[in-house]
A = this chain, B = another copy of it.
Amino acid sequence: MQLTQAIRRAMQIHGGRTATIQGSRRRTWSEFGQRVASLAGALCEQRLSPNGRVALLALNSDRYLESFYAAIWAGGIVVPINSRFSVAEIVFCLNDCGAEILMVDDAFAPIAPDLRAQALGLRHVISIGEAHTAAYEELLAATAPVADAAHAGSDVVGIFYTGGTTGRSKGVMLTHTNLASMALNNTGAMSLDETAIYLHVAPMFHLADITMFVSVMQVAGTHVFIPRFDPQPVLRNIEEHRVTITMLVPTMIHALLDRMESCPADLTSFKAFLYGASPMPAPLIARAMAKLPHVNFYQGYGMTEAVPATILEPRFHTPGGAKLGSAGRATYFAEVKIVDPSDGEVPRGEVGEILIGGPMVMKGYWNQPKLTEDALRGGWMHTGDAGYMDEDGFLFVVDRLKDMIISGGENVYSAETENAIYQHPAVAMCAVIGIPHQEWGEQVHAIVLLKDGQRVTEEDLVAHCRKLIAGYKCPRSIEITKDPLPVSGVGKILKRQLRERYKTEPMRRARTF
């Protein structure tokens, strides 16, 4: 299997159809393919080594997509870097993977000289931003297209640095077979074809978007880009370009539904969206379903190292449905099992670690043979997530194992407590973490952001939780904050940062019960 084959197929079959839409700029598949081959030529002229790393640091755009495929076409390995990373983190990635060429847009052009000074192997920087349009177009026009390096199968497509929600960033190596089988899985599960019009909302460096865009490439659908998530442009682009499908993470859905209340938009073209990347609070999905009754919802579960592992199809998205809290069932080529600490499968219904097997499981962590061996021991990806499987094979992700709080000998899954808090109508955002406690080991602590204009006391919130969940699962301390919680590039709440804060400033502004 080969990712670049999708481009040749699209050119052969859909050459005149629209491949990309960026504002008023449109390109056909013939143009897109020619541009990728020319940009690959430019990378080759910069003496890109076979499997040489090409780092990409940019917001979403049609040129991001061109660059992503040009790096592969040229025989290199693409390294899409998290656009939220600090300069130090970016330098770490560039040096860790030994990037030879860096492609940056206008948002990152200012730090390029700094990166170049610190990233030792970096030989060349290409600007793909709008401010450098003339030079970029000149480069493409002046460069002869090259033939596809035709990497395939177990050849590495890219190195994807994990978001770092749980420690130091690791480079996940994904192969052509990894991404191609993922694409076919989605194509089948979501019945995609060339009529798909996909809006890139999640950042393109993240597997949340890559999962979908590789599928859309495969069926030769149309790509529409917005630089970054912002509710208003999402709604406007869906309306204007008759978008049929997108990928959203829970925090985005939340913001989008809020905006829809004040700014009605024509979303009749919108047929389906995939959501995932972090746990979806039950009240939020219920609200989304009520607001968008004509839309098919798909929930995906996976991680950069193995995506997608499970999918929850639209027919299980029924209000109050028994499976709605589930992450769905194994995708066509995935195997999912729940194990005890010695990797033995546990009975259905029992919580354990979620393991994933199949062609979507990564080749390994770049330059980390020991971490790779540990993560892939026995041939299974050890997700570090806790979950259980019901009798029908539906996976319920309880929490990240690392997010499990052990308080007074009881296991508390933070997602369960968060779910309870989210059911309070005044809550905009919340996170539950364990903080050190002398007697209990850890205590359940909640950080809550209220919706604008809402007033609720900590006592009210605890009383609300007590009605919904067992006492030991309710917060023992709550901080109502005025600041949005820290989130990763893809909208995951960075609990690591919250925990760090409580190490240095214990119980800053919290009330304890």
* Partner-B contacts on A (CB < 8 A): 1-2, 5-6, 8-9, 12-15, 153, 177, 180-181, 183-185, 187-188, 191-192, 218-219, 329-330, 332-336, 357-359, 389, 392-393
Contact = CB atoms under 8 A, between A and B. Distances in A.
Contacts of A188: 184, 187-188, 191-192, 219
A392 B329 CA distance: 38
Given A9-B330, A218-B332, 12 more contacts: A1-B177, A1-B359, A5-B358, A12-B330, A13-B392, A183-B332, A184-B184, A184-B185, A184-B187, A187-B332, A188-B191, A218-B333
Contacts of A12: 329-330, 336, 389, 393
Contact of A184 (B2, B9, B332): B332
Count of this chain's copies in the oligomeric assembly = 2
Contact of A5 (B15, B153, B183, B333): B333
Contacts of A191: 188, 191
11 contacts: A1-B181, A2-B358, A9-B335, A12-B329, A12-B330, A12-B336, A12-B393, A153-B177, A188-B219, A191-B191, A218-B333
A330 B184 contact: no
A174 B1 CA distance: 15
A413 to B, nearest CB: 23
A333 to B, nearest CB: 6
Contacts of A15: 393
Contacts of A8: 335
Contact of A13 (B2, B5, B6, B393): B393
Contacts of A358: 1-2, 5
Contacts of A2: 333, 358-359
Leading 10 A-B pairs by shortest Cβ distance: A13-B393, A184-B184, A187-B188, A188-B188, A12-B393, A1-B359, A13-B329, A191-B191, A9-B330, A218-B332
Contacts of A330: 9, 12-13
- Chain B CB within 10 A, most for which of A184, A219, A332, A393: A332
Nearest to A218: B332
